[in-house]
A and B are shown apart, each in its own frame.
Chain A
Amino acid sequence: ILNVEQSPQSLHVQEGDSTNFTCSFPSSNFYALHWYRWETAKSPEALFVMTLNGDEKKKGRISATLNTKEGYSYLYIKGSQPEDSATYLCASHLNNDMRFGAGTRLTVKP
């Protein structure tokens, strides 16, 4: 994989549903994997930075895992709320180069 790819491109869930999305990245020369949350009309906000294979990070109802050997990371949201609606960006830091995915646009319906 030459680029950072995210799937799905967009997701609509009901309030209370749990959901997850994927970030795939080149596994060679890996340095760090970043997840950002970008709400409409606001700045992208850092959620997690992960560097080690097997890393798991958690912030409230949101958690992320990292597999550097196969080049993927999952972001999980448990019990989605309308305020979770945002675009979730991942970025792979390779050497001095940060590569962003196109994002997953999450909409949580009340």
Chain B
Amino acid sequence: DVKVTQSSRYLVKRTGEKVFLECVQDMDHENMFWYRQDPGLGLRLIYFSYDVKMKEKGDIPEGYSVSREKKERFSLILESASTNQTSMYLCASSSTSGTPSYEQYFGPGTRLTVT
């Protein structure tokens, strides 16, 4: 079974702190994604990566950056956390090859609170 793990389930940070959210997948997937989930809204894509050292902006990249130094690890960085970044953050991975087409496998999520 594919396993996607995230470094923390719950995190509380202060405004202005630098925050690192780590995601690791064990299925050699090429693609990795970071989303945030807010009440009443769908999962919104922050950043994604199709390969090591490669990154692409999603729909809401402002205030975030990412790092993918190894294929299995994709990190989300909040350079200076703000209260409007309080949210549930989900990491996902998918394979470019095989079926079902581009099915994404998700981690359990990190609920981040910025005070």
Contacts and interface: CB of A to CB of B under 8 A. Distances in A.
**A is bound by B:** yes
Interface of A: 3-4, 9, 31-32, 34, 36, 41-46, 49, 51, 89, 91, 93, 98-103
21 contacts: A3-B42, A32-B102, A34-B103, A36-B106, A41-B9, A41-B108, A43-B108, A44-B106, A45-B106, A46-B100, A46-B103, A49-B99, A49-B101, A49-B103, A51-B101, A89-B42, A89-B43, A98-B104, A99-B42, A102-B40, A102-B41
Contacts of A3: 42
A45 B109 CA distance: 12
Given A3-B42, A43-B107, 13 more contacts: A9-B40, A31-B101, A41-B108, A43-B109, A45-B106, A46-B104, A91-B43, A91-B104, A93-B102, A99-B42, A100-B42, A100-B44, A102-B42
Contacts of B43: 89, 91, 100
B100 A44 contact: no
Given A49-B101, A49-B103, A44 B42 contact: no
Contact of B101 (A32, A42, A45): A32
Closest 6 A/B residue pairs (Cβ): A49-B100, A100-B42, A100-B43, A44-B106, A43-B106, A102-B42
Nearest to B4: A43
A72 to B, nearest CB: 16
Contacts, number: 52
A4 B43 CA distance: 11
Contacts of A45: 106
A99 B104 CA distance: 12
Nearest to B101: A32
B4 A32 contact: no
Contacts of A51: 101
